[in-house]
Structure formats: C-alpha cells, structure tokens
Amino acid sequence: MKTNRHHALRVLAVFVAAFLVVGNSAKADLAFGTPTKLGPPANSSYVESLDCISADGLELYLDSRRPGGFGNYDLWVARRDTTDADWGEPVNLGPAVNSANADTYACISQDGLELYFNSEDRPGGYGGWDIW
C-alpha cells in the first residue's frame, strides 16, 4: 500500500511541478513533440525520478538510488551553463538535505533560495512522509 501511495504522490508532484513550470507561459494551442530521453549523466542504471527544474532552466533536481548517497533515495542536482547546453553530472545535495531515509520530490523556489522536499520517517518529523 505504501508503494502505491508513494507512486501516486510522485505522479501528482511531477504534474504539479510541470504545471508550475509551464503554467505562466502555456498557450491554448500547446502541442508536445516526441519525448526525447535525456540520457547520461542525468539518467543512469539506477532508479531516478525528475523532481523539478529551476526557474532559469539551469538546474535539474532529481531523486536517485545511485551510489554515493546517504540513504534509500537521495536528492541530487545536475547543472548546465545555458539552456542549450547538456546537463552536467548530478551532484548529491549532501547530509544537510539527505538522510538515511528516503528523500524525494525536491522543488526549488522560484528565487532559488529555498528547497522543499519529502522525507520518509525522518527523525524530527511527524511520521510517514513529511514535507521539509
């Protein structure tokens, strides 16, 4: 049951993040092209999920089980110099953000000064999934 809830929350979070990113600039005649895989380094052979992209389009926040983390799922950021450039290697956000538990659904504020995320059973929380 927890896995189905986790998946449903992830789908909802991605939908909300996508709406926030394109909501202000969406046009009535919006049409999407064929999806294109980002490829490495954003994708790896480990479990990954896109959480959000910064307002300037230069930072991609994801959660992943890739090696080098602190727990179950960790939060990572991939950066690029311009919106036309390829994404760089994701960097773990470190122990100030990541815990031994699952840390997911990162969303950076529009001004880039605050990071919101979910953490499962993190010490100091209310239990289950909390927003930090």
Looking at residue 14, what is its pLDDT?
Answer: 53
Q: Which residues form the domain of 49?
A: 2-25+39-131
Q: What is the pTM of this model?
A: 0.74
Q: Is residue 31 part of a domain?
A: no
Q: For the chain, what percent of residues have pLDDT higher than 70?
A: 79
Q: What is the pLDDT of residues 104-122, one digit of tens each?
A: 999 999 999 999 999 998 8
Q: What is the pLDDT of residues 71-96, one digit of tens each?
A: 889 999 999 999 999 999 999 999 99
Q: Is residue 34 part of a domain?
A: no
Q: Is residue 33 part of a domain?
A: no
* 90 dihedral zone (left: phi>0; alpha: psi -120 to 50; beta): beta
Q: Is residue 108 part of a domain?
A: yes
